Structure 1
Amino acid sequence: MSYDLMVFDADTAPRDREAFMEWYAQQTQWGEGHSYEDASVTTPRLRAWYEAMKAVWFPMNGPDAIFNELPDDSPLWDDDHVTGYTIGRASIYCDFRWSKAEEARSAVVTLAKKHEVGFFDVSEDQGIIAFPGDNFT
């Protein structure tokens, strides 16, 4: 299992929790008909968030994956910052190693606030759903 978080386009996602959860379920069907590894499909704010995240939380797959050009003996093969990103038009779903949950959440929240995107803690029961301007950590 992984520690999962999501950031989203605040102008697209509903603010009501029940409606948001329905929207989330639709987003995670991955039925938009594009590669979910390509940041060019998402909004400018989400893309800026992703660009900042991938500098430390390395993409596991896709065109930005660190593994594409690593030598076999690179220590990055075992780095705990390797992250799975599933990139949609209005959301980016991230899966982290549980050993890095606290550090990952801090980075995701900090950058969500900076880039004015929403945040959803997928891994928590009744996880926080936060929009830009909300007070959350």
Structure 2
Amino acid sequence: MSADLVVFDPAEAPRDGEAWREWYERINEDDHPEEGEFDRLSPALRSWYDAMTKDYPDFIRTDNDHPNGMDYSLMGSAIHCVMPRGPGDIGEADKLSNRLVKELGLGTYDVMSDDGREGRHIVFPDGPLPDVPKPPSFFSKLFGKGKG
């Protein structure tokens, strides 16, 4: 079992949910050459990566079969990781990541549960982006409970 998580530098990211998702899509689609990839990370992102890889090694860059091995995609302003690939403990990896994010003043994005309508999946150091009101459902409109 695995889970996706994005850790990002809040100084580089827009503070609007729609703009943030467009920004992330753009940096995720950009070519990320391996040469100099660590130099493009902010000091806080590099510290997060270095601390995480002590217990959850980089599966791609170290080419090992550690049960806690994770895939890390380094994108300059963000790191997308799939935690852990093997039988490792996702809960412990998530706890470590959350502690480091708070200590280092980074933001997080929960890729796996974001439906694009609620901002709580994009969290800056000062808290989640506000929820965007959901459009009323077809049945809400049909039965007069929704406006629109």
Q: TM-score range by the shorter chain?
A: 0.7 to 0.9
Cα displacement string for residues 46-83 of structure 1 (whole angstroms, at most 9, x for unaligned residues): 00111111111100122xx163xxxxxxxxx2x33100
Partner of 1:125: 114
Instruction: Calculate percent identity across the aligned residue pairs.
Output: 30
Question: Which segments of 5 or more consecutive residues in structure 2 lack a partner in the other structure?
Answer: 129-148
Partner of 1:59: 58
1:90 aligns with 2:77: yes
Partner of 1:49: 48
The question of whether the paired residues in 1 share the 8 Å contact of 2:37 and 2:76 is answered with no
What is the aligned-residue RMSD (CA, Å)? 2.3
Number of equivalent positions: 122
TM-score, normalised to structure 1's length?
0.77
**Quick one: which of 127, 133, 143 aligns to 1:134?**
127
> How much does 1:36 deviate?
7.8
User: For residues 78 and 124 of structure 2, what CA distance do their matches in structure 1 show?
Assistant: 13
TM-score, normalised to structure 2's length?
0.72
Relative distance call for 1:47 and 1:6 in structure 2 (3 A) is same
User: Post-superposition, which runs of at least 4 consecutive aligned residues in structure 1 deviate over 6 A?
Assistant: none
Q: SS of the residue aligned with 1:119?
A: strand
Question: Which segments of 5 or more consecutive residues in structure 1 lack a partner in the other structure?
Answer: 68-76
